[in-house]
Amino acid sequence: MTANFSTEDSEDLEALFDSIVAANREADSQAGSAGAEFSFPLLRSDLSADREQGIPSSQPPALPVQSSDVINRIGLMTRTLHDALRELGLNKKIEKAASSIPDARDRLNYVATLTQQAAERVLNATEAAQPLVEKMEVEAHRLSGQWQMLFEKQLDVEQFKDLAMQTHAFLHDMPKQTKATHAYLMEIMMAQDFQDMTGQVIKKIIDVTENVEQQLLALLLENAPAKVKADSNPGLLNGPAVNPDGRRAVANSQSRVDDLLEDLGF
Amino acid sequence: MGLQDTRFLVVDDFSTMRRIMRNLLKELGFMNVQEAGDGVEALDKLRAGTFDFVVSDWNMPNMTGIELLQAIRADARLKHLPVLMVTAEAKRENIIMAAQAGASGYVVKPFTAAKLDEKLMKIFRTMQE
């Protein structure tokens, strides 16, 4: 217990532990005389542990407490403290993982911005190209109708001359119009270049998400009942739940993660 | 062989970018374009076929663009090939690294057709000198 405790780096928690040990010693020395009252307001969970044991901690026991009871209670409190410490230690790792989330949020905002810009570029280009295409269509229809009238001998010489001029003007103008349309099509194509950059960003966010998942799993595993831990050890873990650098659990596939969560009752 | 017959290999892990590059090259009059999804595939294609020009992304799985560039420069049969890096890596150290590894040009994404044309023409001019 002491060895595990020493691995925790919070001085506040060490001080808390020391104060409880000191209080226990005092209580121990009083045990057998007036009956000891244990009161550790900082550790509420030890009260609930006492209730589970059927010992009302809010009032002194009616009979003098036997020394074995005291040892039992010290054991329970130490266990509670240890669990709390361990949870706090892992919380720090969770915090580290979670601190990467704002970065992921920025990245997602970047993706949102890029995709929005691309959508706007595409819509602008489309809206600009449509009137050009429509104008060409209308004009071609009109000239085609005039030529049809000519073939039906409904046009006189002056009208024919006029039609020839208009048709030439239309054909002359055509490459300019198609070139402009082509430029808008190129604009639409180039607007798709966001996909490369957003793709890279999304890959990074997936890494962050996986890391957070690993940290949460490590926390669950650390606090899992011994049986589940033992069951999950051979397949799921190469040794301890958290690897030596304490950053990453080694649960490595989705199905194993699913199995573990199921074992833990989630 | 005319400039328009230049045989390009476009290397990028995103198919969208490869298509954009293929279309841009077509726009600039280069019709002979093939594609590779990463450095490994590119090196295989370069060793198996005949190419005149490599346009490569930097950040790719399996073999990055800079590793591909180094491999090309280390290969007696390929080392003469012009390699244009087209990449989102806009940091100073990336550009220096690419230059030291023997890149022929460097275009930062996102880029325009005009920008690509300018870089290509610059490389072609250097090659003719």
Cβ-Cβ contacts under 8 Å, A190 against chain B: 20, 24, 110, 112-113
Rounded distance between C-alpha atoms, residue A59 and residue B51, angstroms: 89
Q: Decide if B14 and A189 are in contact by the 8 Å CB cutoff.
A: no
Question: What average pLDDT does chain B have?
Answer: 91
Quick one: closest CA in B to A193, which residue? Answer: B17
- What pLDDT sits at residue B93? 85
As a dihedral over the C-alpha atoms of residue A191, residue A197, residue A201, residue A203, rounded to 10 degrees, the angle is 110
- What pLDDT sits at residue A197? 82
Using alpha carbons only, what angle is made at residue A143 by residues A142 and A147, rounded to the nearest 5 degrees? 120
Rounded distance between C-alpha atoms, residue B10 and residue B120, angstroms: 13
Determine if the pTM surpasses 0.80: no
- What pLDDT sits at residue A170? 96
* pLDDT tens digits, A62-85: 555 567 777 777 777 777 766 666
ipTM exceeding the 0.90 mark? no
H or E element that contains B10 = strand B8-11
Q: Decide if B113 and A192 are in contact by the 8 Å CB cutoff.
A: no
With beta carbons less than 8 A apart as the criterion, state whether B34 and B51 touch: yes
B126 vs A88, more confident: B126
Instruction: Please give the average per-residue pLDDT across A125-136, as a whole number.
Output: 95
B contact set with A (CB within 8 A): 12, 14, 16-17, 19-20, 23-24, 27, 57, 59, 88, 109-110, 112-113
Q: Which of A2-6, A237-241, B26-30 has the highest mean pLDDT?
A: B26-30
A189 touches chain B (CB under 8 A): yes
Q: Is the dihedral of CA A147, A148, A153, A154 positive or negative?
A: negative
